[in-house]
Structure 1
């Protein structure tokens, strides 16, 4: 049985760059094929912060159309309890009232060239929870369309731990793109939420050496806890020189970039060996310039992008449910929905005060 639903709810609403407001809205009622979730937790992503600060990727410039929509509620890293819907929705998603589910960020159209070829994560229209055409989960309730990709998650996990399935799945996809071999030296740039996911995923591939880079010793210690064999504080040590020293002068086999900082791009190109593999996951807030001759004439590198977490959600959820992820250390801060501005500001704090920040819409003050 569906629970009685309130008429009104609180939700964060986008009005423009650096203009997000907590407002009261009608609780959405699911139509045919739709479900309603009571949001238990929603992570604050670095891309949420870049959007908040007006990055051109989201708000557009002379080269691109705006992507984020004014009037939307942000939030794409979420888990919630199924509280309403019809039999078509429940049968399609194989869930029932009371189940806890997580949704993939993208809501694929199922009709474009990419969707028809099974490459749904690159869907042409690219509708996305919290950005385009569908409200996200910085709200007490979120509507789930029938086209959404839905995954059940154990209720034994804390809600903010379960919501980490989204960034973890993204990191696992980037790791899959790298085609890591047992003999490889793999370098991960960054020990934030994505970087830690990259370390966790790379550890499952069991390369010969797994090296984590960061500017913060506490985050490097967390990188160790996630499986890094060696950590390098790039504020104190030349990572390129150290990695070449460890590899008989050749350089690393694989570089996984998860910082979103422009300097990490050139760093990766320089520390890779010839014929090495560079995988870029990050969303950058500004343009990045590099010497492309390193990629071509100097080293003939394989440079790969990674977007979202296709086909990696079941593995990410299993890792969480199996206790392979030190979520107690990763998920450092939780806030009530009314304190969303504090959460955004904390994610933007460059002092390293937080790792993963989440909102818990059911928490009061």
Structure 2
């Protein structure tokens, strides 16, 4: 199954971004990984950069203000957990387990579960106690490289070769957004508010719209992102820089407030906004990576409104739906995947994500 008779000889080395600590990411020449039994070698076509990559690049000082809560990337690790690639080598065991062959276009879920902890044994693999996510631990090197390994316990999905590489790599953030939507338990008559129109927020808009609620409202400060939210399915957008979102939503709901609030900004002010914007017995779903502590009036959740407050992590069971949504062509993927850069310009890519003003999704093309 390795394709040795018809595939070109593999190089011994490859280019890869390697983490040596906060602000110490370097493009280096490293050995091409060699797949062991039941593993697959994949040639990376695209890898996206997300907020958690940025957090680990900057380390504790920028995001938490002290060393007591450091960024959680190990050193000597290749970053990158949202990616797509082509299978170049695997054995029969891997081929049978994943239903793939050499030449297939594949993505892998960002977590490689241990399959032995209490969460994995209970079917909650995305909360695996060991929590090996590509690009953060030495056991699971990531995709900011020309080649990468899929370990035996990886969760692998095929994706159409007709989809542009950067679009295919968006399956990871889109699956995360769809999981948050699933956590929201949206009903037909609901008014749903999505805060933030970055990659995750836009995916939330599309996912929420697919649930057919009464109204999907998107919030952001950037007019171009609000326009993109309309293309993704929002019925209404609110520029929170020029309009009071809480008052507008109350006006639209006979003074009650929204049924569901999905937070995707990572800004502390969006948390209080959501709690105030929801009706009594409403549902708040949090997905963001925050750069500082959040302080709110906790009694809003209990005494005032008896809210359901739910977290959402990774994209369990949502990858097939995310892939179908991308393959369908229904999303404005050219606008969402706004920047593609060569691997050597990874620092520029991190700067674009850090700014957040010029880009939506930034991807590296090895």
Q: TM-score, normalised by structure 2?
A: 0.96
| Aligned CA distance change for structure 1 residues 24 and 57 (closer, same or farther; 3 Å) | same
The answer to whether structure 1 residue 16 and structure 2 residue 21 are counterparts is yes
| Aligned CA distance change for structure 1 residues 80 and 59 (closer, same or farther; 3 Å) | farther
Deviation at 1:55, TM superposition (A): 3.9
Could you tell me how far apart the structure 2 residues matched to 1:50 and 1:59 are?
10
Cα pair 1:60 1:67 within 8 Å, conserved? no
Could you tell me how far apart the structure 1 residues matched to 2:345 and 2:70 are?
31
Q: Where does residue 129 of structure 1 map in the other structure?
A: 134
The answer to whether structure 1 residue 355 and structure 2 residue 364 are counterparts is no
Deviation at 1:289, TM superposition (A): 1.4
Q: Where does residue 108 of structure 1 map in the other structure?
A: 113
Q: Where does residue 307 of structure 2 map in the other structure?
A: 301
Q: Where does residue 75 of structure 2 map in the other structure?
A: 70
Q: Secondary structure at the match of 2:347?
A: helix
RMSD (Å), alpha carbons: 1.6
Name which of 132, 137, 140 aligns with 2:146.
140
Q: How many residues align?
A: 360
Q: TM-score, normalised by structure 1?
A: 0.96
Could you tell me how far apart the structure 2 residues matched to 1:181 and 1:131 are?
37
Superimposed CA distance per residue, residues 137-168 of structure 1 (whole angstroms, 9 cap, x where no aligned partner): 00000111010100000000001000010000
Superimposed CA distance per residue, residues 270-307 of structure 1 (whole angstroms, 9 cap, x where no aligned partner): 10001000000111122211111011101100000000
Superimposed CA distance per residue, residues 197-242 of structure 1 (whole angstroms, 9 cap, x where no aligned partner): 0000001001101100000000000000000010000011111111
Superimposed CA distance per residue, residues 152-203 of structure 1 (whole angstroms, 9 cap, x where no aligned partner): 0000000100001000000000000101011110000011000000000001
Cα pair 1:43 1:78 within 8 Å, conserved? yes
Could you tell me how far apart the structure 2 residues matched to 1:328 and 1:19 are?
31
Could you tell me how far apart the structure 1 residues matched to 2:64 and 2:31 are?
26
Structure 1 runs (4+) deviating above 2 angstroms are 55-67
Q: Where does residue 211 of structure 2 map in the other structure?
A: 205
Q: Structure 2 unaligned segments of length 5 or more: list them.
A: none
| Map 1:45-124 → 2, pairs under 5 A | 45-55=50-60, 67-124=72-129
Q: Where does residue 10 of structure 2 map in the other structure?
A: 5
| Aligned CA distance change for structure 1 residues 59 and 68 (closer, same or farther; 3 Å) | farther
Could you tell me how far apart the structure 2 residues matched to 1:202 and 1:36 are?
36
